[in-house]
Amino acid sequence: MEVCYQLPVLPLDRPVPKHVLSRRGAISFSSSSSLFGAPDPRQLSQRRGAISYDSSDQTALYIRMLGDVRVRSQVGFEPEGRGSYPYLCIDFRTLHSCSESTSASSLIPGPGFISAGPVSGRRLRRLLSFQRYLHSSRLLWGTTHLNPLHILDEDYIGQAKCMLEQVGSWNFDLFLFDRLTNGNSLVTMTFHLLNQYGLLELFQLDMVKLWRFLVMVQEDYHSLNPYHNAVHAADVTQAMYCYLREPKLAKSLTSCDILLGLLAAATHDLDHPGVNQPFLIKTNHYLAKLYRNSSVLENHHWRSAVGLLRETGLFSHLPAEEGLKMERQLGSLILATDISRQNEYLGKFRTHLNQDDLCLSNASHRHFILQMALKCADICNPCRPWELSKQWSEKVTQEFFHQGDIEKKHKLEVSPLCDSQRNSMGNIQIGFMTYVVEPLFAEWGRFSDTRLSQTMLGHLGLNKASWGGLVQQERPSSPDELEPSSPASATESEPESASAAEPTADTTATATGATNSKEIPQGSKES
């Protein structure tokens, strides 16, 4: 009997998609199967899973094993451990013959475990690796199945592929793409872009190793973080791709530059705890001590990425010296996203533009432009269309206020911008745009005066005006007011709002103050 099933594994803290629950049937269960890495029989009650199925054409099972319940500390910012690579979406086809005494019923979980028939754990792992390779090949090279079988989410996969055809559009809706890929936007996006540039063949990257690396990267982002999660990383990767296509960069960057740029974008917030650097310092977190209170999160993101590169052996086929060089350059890109060093990079960028001495045939100049491109990609949300920008603003504000709630609960000094009773979303956004985004993107527009730059600055102006209008509406009306504030007066009030949103900002500078303590919305790692 031929049995076809997909095995995309979702983490415990990710809601099961509605389109999965709407299938013809669903079973929830607890599992102790060693195949899914149950760490201890005593924890079986903490494991959950579910199956959705549809047997109208051929037997198809959609199996979801949800990972261990994570026990978080009182403060709640320790990184989650990695289990069995839960974001894998594997097209897993196995032929079961009668001689193997395996039937479709053997795939239905009994009380407490999944039975996979007589297949050994080692053989199953080999099958999974091989099927990952085949699945990746079919997806990325456009190869169709010789004998197409019914799969549950073929329609969603098709829509995701259609979206990837427009991956270079500045209006790309990453939230929709993440839903269509069943929460696998970072893996799907990064793999597609690396393949589109032909980097797999050029650098002789093993497809299975690369897929495993990206899955582990996606898994090490905390999905409980409202903002600093894998969706944000996928959004930054898509923005980075848009910048890499700009004429000045497209004709100058080497293949190595492009590979490092995309990998840095995908890993730039790896294992972000959802709180900023000052929080880690004042709670005596081990990361703050390890990196001596300097670029704490950026160093951790970089080292985490290097750890996964070495664990998967993605660059193991390269000469040792070349591999170390790529790791250092990756770190240089990620460290540039430290918002507390915004003035340093912006000043250097402005000096180069004023002197007109950027030469992209120079490797160090190309690397510097990659750093600036990644910085722009990291905080580009206010430059997106309003419908997308507003969603990002809501998410980052939620993460800020969550940190503030933790600080209040543990009687810590509440960080600026994290007190929900003293700050509003509109004021935070206006301050962020005024002191951080506008200065950076104005200089980027000088460097790359293209239609994309004009589009981004146009959206930035409109979004800032929209937030100004919302702030005006939220203010209590005075009895002396004769009429509501006009859009012009809302715009005029923005500097005042910005100043309120950036209580530590030096209003005579372009991107200071709150940037020095990394308490900036939409942003880099420390928000």
pLDDT at 225: 98
Known binding-site residues for Zn(2+) equal 232, 268-269, 378
Helix 451-474 × helix 494-501 angle, to 10° = 80
**Cα–Cα distance for residue pair 65/307, rounded to 1 Å:** 26
Side chain identity at 516, as an amino acid letter? N
- Whether 124 shows a pLDDT value over 80: the answer reads no
pLDDT at 158: 84
Q: Known catalytic residues?
A: 228
Give the mean pLDDT of 496-504. Answer: 35
Known binding-site residues equal 228-232, 268-269, 378, 429
pLDDT class of 19 with cuts at 50, 70, 90: low
For 79-133, the DSSP string reads PPPP-S-TT---EEEEE--GGGT--GGGGS-BTBB---TT--HHHHHHHHHHHHH
Q: Which of 11-25, 37-51, 321-335, 490-504 has the lowest mean pLDDT?
A: 490-504
Q: Maximum Cα–Cα distance for the chain, whole Å?
A: 88
CB 489 within 8 A of CB 465: no
Q: What is the pLDDT of residues 132-185, one digit of tens each?
A: 444 444 545 554 444 333 344 566 778 899 999 999 999 999 999 999 999 999
Side chain identity at 161, as an amino acid letter? K
Percent of the chain clearing pLDDT 70 (strictly above): 61
pLDDT at 484: 39
- Find the Cα–Cα–Cα–Cα dihedral 10, 225, 473, 492, rounded to 10°: -130
For 202, 248, 322, the CA distances from 199, given in Å and listed in that order, are 5, 20, 16
Side chain identity at 172, as an amino acid letter? F
Question: Residue 400 is encoded by which pair of tokens?
Answer: 């800020």
Question: Residue 334 is encoded by which pair of tokens?
Answer: 């990620």
Return the higher-pLDDT residue of 135 and 193.
193
Known binding-site residues for AMP equal 228-232, 269, 378, 429
For 267-302, the DSSP string reads HTTTT--SS-HHHHHHTT-HHHHHTTTSSHHHHHHH
Sort 476 into a burial class: Cβ within 10 Å, 0-12 / 13-18 / 19+. Answer: exposed
Homologous superfamily of domain range 151-381: 3'5'-cyclic nucleotide phosphodiesterase, catalytic domain (1.10.1300.10)
CB 37 within 8 A of CB 219: no
Question: Residue 136 is encoded by which pair of tokens?
Answer: 């990746």
Structure letter (DSSP) for residue 439: H
3-state secondary structure of 438: helix
CB 198 within 8 A of CB 205: no
For residue 94, what are the β-bridge partners?
A: 3
**Cα–Cα distance for residue pair 128/89, rounded to 1 Å:** 11
Sort 440 into a burial class: Cβ within 10 Å, 0-12 / 13-18 / 19+. Answer: buried
Q: What is the pLDDT of residues 303-349, one digit of tens each?
A: 999 999 999 999 999 999 999 999 999 999 999 999 999 999 999 99
Question: Residue 405 is encoded by which pair of tokens?
Answer: 């709630």
pLDDT at 474: 83
Return the higher-pLDDT residue of 125 and 98.
125
Q: Which of 121-135, 189-203, 344-358, 390-404 has the lowest mean pLDDT?
A: 121-135
Print burial letters for 14-47: b (CB count within 10 Å at least 16), e (below 16): beebeebeeeeeeeebebbbebbebeeeeeeebb
Contacts of 185 (CB under 8 A, 6+ apart): 174, 177, 178, 230, 231, 234
Output the average pLDDT for the chain.
75
pLDDT at 475: 78
**Cα–Cα distance for residue pair 436/440, rounded to 1 Å:** 6
Helix 296-312 × helix 207-220 angle, to 10° = 150
pLDDT at 13: 45
- Whether 485 shows a pLDDT value over 80: the answer reads no
pLDDT class of 121 with cuts at 50, 70, 90: low
**Tokens 């010296």 correspond to what residue?**
321
Q: pTM for the complete prediction?
A: 0.68
